[in-house]
Amino acid sequence: MGDLGLNLAEGQLKITMKKAVANQFTLEDAGLEEAYTVEGGNLRVKVELGYIKDVNFYKMPKIEFDYTENIHESNWIVEFNGENILETKDHSGKATILLLNRKKMKELVNRHENNLLIHGNFSEEVAIKNTSSLQLLEIH
């Protein structure tokens, strides 16, 4: 997908939307060629949404992380434009699904720059599959 960019740094994935991407996209669409190993158990994903005034959030914005192995408990904090919009704990499994509050996100939209920060804390090293997906925006 040419509208997405990806930068990898230790413990952080940074996804940049060059223009609004409607519907669902995967980490592979953003440029992640293989599973991403989270060493030390701390994951940070930054999604730079840019200008999204003329775009709606998906009915129920959703982030899904798929893992190569079953994981134990994980803790999550999601921030949008500096405001905490979700704090949750997920129990063991091969995936984590985070459902975001569309109304709260819409209230926090900035004029030019909009950033979603996802913090995941795992009790062990975890490999996140590139099939993990984000479904944030829809365009009418």
Residue of 65, 82, 63, 62 whose CA lies nearest to 122: 65
In a domain, 29, yes or no: yes
In a domain, 26, yes or no: yes
Instruction: Express as a percent the part of the chain with pLDDT over 70.
Output: 96
Structural domain for 120, as ranges: 4-89+115-138
Separation CA 65–CA 133 (nearest Å)? 7
pTM: 0.92
Q: What phi-psi label fits residue 62: left (phi over 0), alpha (psi between -120 and 50 degrees) or beta?
A: beta
Q: How many domains does the chain have?
A: 1
pLDDT tens figures, 104-124: 999 999 878 899 999 999 999
Between β-strands 24-26 and 133-138, what pairing exists: parallel, antiparallel or unpaired?
antiparallel
In a domain, 94, yes or no: no
